[in-house]
Amino acid sequence: MARGARVILFAPEVVPAGDVWHKCRSLLLMKKPKKTPEVQLLELLKQILPKAAPDPDVAGRIYQAVEHELRAKARATAFEGFCARVALPDLEPPSLAEVKEQLEASFGDGEVTIEPSAEENLLRVEVTLPDGNEFASVIKVDPNAAAVSTEEQEPEIRLKFVPFPVALPADPELVWLLARHETLTPEEGGMALARAEEEFWASKTGQKLQRDRVEKTFPEFIARVPAGLLKEVGLKRHYKEPEPVKEHRAVAPQR
């Protein structure tokens, strides 16, 4: 996320304009989302590192290394889970294209390679991410996969999204309408957005855009970042373009 960008919270109910931010802050404090073990570990590191490693540069590198490893582990788990549950009824081109499309949507700007093996009746898949991580596995063909009904499948746990509007300090009245997983706090959502922006500009697509004279700005990032990359960090983009904040004036009730 662009340096200095701030997150704006809002409540769905209508309140007087002067009380909006105080109302939203109160609602946020009433119900705090549960933090994941990974986030708790990173917060603990923030407290310990300054004492164990007084040099800010050393502490920063250690924190980034741990964060990178946690993220890589989460991605590896997600990749193996995908390969274990994805339906592959055959090795025909439409089925292969569907699997590849799902992988590309799930792993953002990663390079996806698939190699079908008719002899072994399976599909080898490999994903290479911009940060250098590589994941490889196999997906076995299951002729009955296409016939499995929705009721028979194990229900997938889907996290709910909550509003996550973002604005820049230079123009706080212009807001990008995003969403974050309900398990993420606004601060964690901001950190996730910053990581996604950093990874996007460091990716092949981001580097090419910069060579093509595209400005390395937050608006350009939001307009061009793949939805899959945002999804990986628990975020969702509703619209690529920002909208100005509209002050609502309640109509006085008729007597």
The side-by-side arrangement of strands in the sheet containing 134-140 is: 111-117, 122-128, 134-140
Give the model's pLDDT for residue 204. Answer: 83
Token duo for residue 94: 């439409």
HSE (CB half, 13 Å, CA atoms) of 13? 6
Stretch 39-54: mean pLDDT, rounded? 80
- Mean pLDDT score across all residues of the chain: 77
What's the rounded Cα separation, in Å, for the pair 255 and 252? 9
Per-residue pLDDT at 154 exceeds 50: no
Give the model's pLDDT for residue 176. Answer: 93
Per-residue pLDDT at 186 exceeds 70: yes
Give the model's pLDDT for residue 221. Answer: 94
- Residue 54, Cα to own-chain centre: how many angstroms? 32
Per-residue pLDDT at 6 exceeds 70: no
Question: Please, which residues have CB within 8 angstroms of residue 152's CB and are 6 or more apart in sequence?
Answer: none
Stretch 36-57: mean pLDDT, rounded? 79
Strand partners, 174: 244
CB under 8 A, 24+ apart: contacts of 71-80: 71/195, 72/131, 72/133, 74/38, 75/107, 75/129, 75/133, 75/135, 75/232, 76/133, 76/135, 78/106, 78/232, 79/107, 79/127, 79/135, 79/137, 80/135, 80/137
HSE (CB half, 13 Å, CA atoms) of 174? 10
Stretch 135-164: mean pLDDT, rounded? 69
| pLDDT tens digits, one per residue of 103-149 | 877 776 678 889 999 888 889 999 887 777 788 899 988 887 655 43
Which of 17, 11, 68 shows the shortest CA–CA distance to 173? 17
Token duo for residue 43: 């917060």
Give the model's pLDDT for residue 11. Answer: 38
Give the model's pLDDT for residue 108. Answer: 63
Stretch 6-35: mean pLDDT, rounded? 44
Residue 245 pLDDT grade (very low, low, confident, very high; cuts 50, 70, 90): confident
* pTM greater than 0.85 (yes/no): no
Find out whether 165 and 106 touch, Cβ atoms under 8 Å. Answer: no
Stretch 152-170: mean pLDDT, rounded? 73
Give the model's pLDDT for residue 80. Answer: 85
Stretch 199-216: mean pLDDT, rounded? 89
Determine how many CB atoms are found less than 10 A away from the CB of residue 98. Answer: 15
Give the model's pLDDT for residue 250. Answer: 73
